[in-house]
Structure 1
Amino acid sequence: MMMLLVFLAAAAINVAASGATGNISAAQSSFSAPSGTYTYSVQQGGNDLGTATVSISHSDIGLTVHESQNLQSSLSYTIDEIFDATTLDPKAYTGAYARGTTATTVRVAVDSGGATVTIDGTSGTAPFPNPPGIKHAYLIEGTLMSGYVLLPAQLHASKVTQFSLISPRSVAQVVGNVDLHPVITRPASVPTADVALSVTGKMNFDVWYDPTSMVVHAVSAPGQQLLITLKK
């Protein structure tokens, strides 16, 4: 199970967009993330691992995402993240990771210069400044949908070709590069109108989303036999 939590931090990754339109810029020119609650099923090798419930809302502090995920009865995660309502850049992240009776809380502060990770009960901080030439950092981790649910819209808003990806619990950073010509396989459950944001490298995953609403319908990682799909 730890493999699912850290598979994104194992290597540098290349981010690619493809599908009906072939690239990110073909999505709508303006975007406001849809408020609401979305429930996803998490499967590996065709077996149910659990569910993830993600709520997106707007408030005076910005756009907020709350996630509650439970896997195989013994793993539970609660994520709260705040984003800039206009740029969709992350600002603050709190993640509570529980395995049985053992719990760890990780916090991330993000600004234009990069991100800083702290772990409750542990002294010191882990700074992750943006690499030279990179101006945006996004928080991605394992099966947690809070990292994927805004990613297509974030890249559409920033229009960057290179960015920093932070894995909070793994306390790791990699660099992503936009590739407009990926080779991918569409899961049978994904709507035909969806386009994909694909991440390739030693680890691979695809984020399938509606290019009009930017609602994420699925995340697939064929190499891990992992499929996360929107239930409602």
Structure 2
Amino acid sequence: MFLPLAFSLALDSAAPSVPPPARYQYEGFIDGKTVGNNSLTLKRGPDEYIVDEKADAHLPTGDQSAATHMTLDNQLRPTDYSATYTVFDEPAKATVSFSDRVATMVMGSDTKTIPMGGSSRSFIVLDTSLVSGYFLLPAQVRAFAGADLTAIIPGQGGSAFLNVIPNDRPARPSDVPAGDVSISFAGEIPFVEWYEPSTLILDELSMPVQNLVVKRRR
């Protein structure tokens, strides 16, 4: 569902490196109607971060669900990712491992090797209908000082090269807290993220082309 190509970020030098370890819940809307729910848990280990997510979507074309597990090092670089999808009652699995500047993606019997983009400083994971990768973007872009990134998109078996576009100022939605700042992504499917600069917690993700809005449930 999510296919980002490029983005920009307003940075806050006082922000922590990651949102607080906790459980976070999000609800997706298309044309104002609920279409899905996502629940993710962020944990911190001695030298790593772990994000687990469960998601359910109820679309006109049918129901979908997914469960994912992602591990990142203490610099917020992904080290491994696994996902189990159920799309219209059909199960599928994907795994991604990362080594230096190469990602290896396995889906069923297919294996694909994806090199990091030439000017990228890190891989990130942005799966198709899942929130966890988007949730981490403010922290990751801050960690890599706004550098270019290569996004792995396991649910579609592909990748996208992401470059920061500075100085975007999107209109603030009426339900976004006044203190939030934004990340804007321009591309085939543009989207905007609003997050708390003091915690880096994602409050809202919007994709106007798809009339899609994902909001944090408090």
User: TM-score interval w.r.t. the shorter chain?
Assistant: over 0.9
Percent identity over the alignment is 23
- AA matched with 1:205: F
- AA matched with 1:113: R
Matched position secondary structure for 2:177 = coil
Paired residues of 1:166 and 1:173 also in contact (CA < 8 A): yes
Paired residues of 2:55 and 2:67 also in contact (CA < 8 A): yes
Distance 2:64 2:15 in 1: 39
The partner residue of 1:65 within 51, 65, 72 is 51
Runs of 4+ in structure 1 deviating by more than 6 angstroms, as ranges, are: none
The partner residue of 1:106 within 76, 94, 99 is 94
Residue 207 in 1 paired to residue 193 in 2? yes
TM-score normalized by the length of structure 2: 0.92
Counterparts of 1:94-133 in structure 2, within 5 Å, are 94-120=82-108, 122-123=109-110, 125-133=111-119
Unaligned runs of 5+ in 1: 18-22
Counterparts of 1:17-28 in structure 2, within 5 Å, are 17=9, 23-24=10-11, 26-28=12-14
Matched position secondary structure for 1:201 = coil
Matched position secondary structure for 1:14 = coil
Distance 2:146 2:179 in 1: 24
- Structure 2 residue aligned with 1:80: 69
TM-score normalized by the length of structure 1: 0.87
- AA matched with 2:92: T
Unaligned runs of 5+ in 2: none
The partner residue of 1:188 within 174, 177, 182 is 174
Residue 142 in 1 paired to residue 128 in 2? yes
| Offset at residue 61 of structure 1 (A) | 6.0
Counterparts of 1:146-165 in structure 2, within 5 Å, are 146-165=132-151
- Structure 2 residue aligned with 1:50: 36
Matched position secondary structure for 1:214 = coil
Aligned length: 215
The partner residue of 1:37 within 23, 31, 38 is 23
| Offset at residue 31 of structure 1 (A) | 1.7
Q: Provide, for residues 45-92 of structure 1, a one-character-per-residue CA deviation record: whole Å limited to 9, x for no partner.
A: 1111021001111124621101111011721011110011x2111111
